[in-house]
Amino acid sequence: MLKLIMQTVVSAAFGVVLLGFALFASAGTLDYWQAWVFIAVFAVATLVPSFYLAVKDPAALQRRMRGGPKAETRAVQKIVITVSLISVVAVLIISAVDHREGWSHVPVPVVILGNVLVLAGLALAQAVVFQNSFAGASIRVESEQRVVSTGLYGVVRHPMYVGTVLLMIGIPLALGSYWALLAVVVTVPALAVRITDEEKMLRTELDGYAAYTEKVRYRLLPYVW
């Protein structure tokens, strides 16, 4: 457990450093209060649940830490994750450059709303993991895995991706940029491709998933898709 906690701390610290470098280097200044608040919100919203999982469900935390293109076993998913990562980096850089150049004039209440969306998106993603410990960062089916059809999974089939959408919309607003929302547009079709391909695999490899899709008909947004 101690080793996993240390890995979590190191991973989080490395992520915060990279996040800070991307934002402040692109902004060309440390005088960027929106970035400081966003980093603080992001760090707290990811670290606290991670520590909880390290104690209560270390296997789930390890699955969450095993992500990225290399962790995916399907070619489509490798491409989707790569595109998504590029989109995230673009959102951060465009937001910071927007701050430097003064393109957007985002009022404080909207910045606060952005941070609320970031917090809500991360909280929703963590809640999904609490309900389904097999909800890892990469798509795979394990031998002991079972279909979860209650809680958030009783509303939509992919509640974690709902959290991703909230997070991606919230980041540019939290960082004080309207223009960076354009980069978020790329995430939506990429997410649709990921979900569609994931469901192909789950229908084939996860017992009971096909029946679950008949029970819960909507993938991401009730009455829409």
For residue 98 the two structure tokens come to 């927007």
Distance, in Å, from the CA atom of 33 to the CA atom of 28, rounded to the nearest integer, reads 13
* Statement: residue 75 has pLDDT above 90: no
Tell me: pLDDT of 29 over 90: yes
Weakest-pLDDT range from 22-26, 50-54, 95-99, 135-139: 135-139
Retrieve residue 134's tokens: 């097999």
Q: pTM of this prediction? A: 0.90
Burial of 106 (0-12, 13-18, 19+ CB in 10 A): buried
pLDDT of 111: 98
d(CA 78, CA 27): 30
Task: Provide mean pLDDT across the span 172-192.
Answer: 92
In which band, very low, low, confident or very high, does the pLDDT at 178 lie, cut at 50, 70 and 90? very high
Q: d(Cα 11, Cα 51) in Å, to the nearest integer?
A: 12
For 187, the enclosing helix (H) or strand (E) is helix 187-205
Q: Measure Cα distances from 144 to 48, 73, 106 in Å.
A: 27, 19, 48
At 64, list the tokens: 């969450």
What confidence tens digit (pLDDT) does each residue in 89-140 have? 999 999 999 999 999 999 999 999 999 999 999 999 889 888 888 877 777 8
8 A C-beta contact, residue 174 and residue 111: yes
> Which range among 8-17, 43-52, 69-78, 146-155 has the greatest average pLDDT?
146-155
Provide the CATH topology of domain 2-215.
Four Helix Bundle (Hemerythrin (Met), subunit A) (1.20.120)
| Average pLDDT in the chain | 89
Q: Are 177 and 35 in contact (CB under 8 A)?
A: no
- Residue carrying the six token digits 């929302």: 181
Q: Which CA distances in Å does 212 have to 135, 149, 174, 193?
A: 16, 7, 36, 20
pLDDT at 2: 67
* Average of per-residue pLDDT across 37-46: 93
- Domains of the chain by residue range: 2-215
Return d(Cα 194, Cα 196) in angstroms, integer: 6
CB 174 within 8 A of CB 41: yes
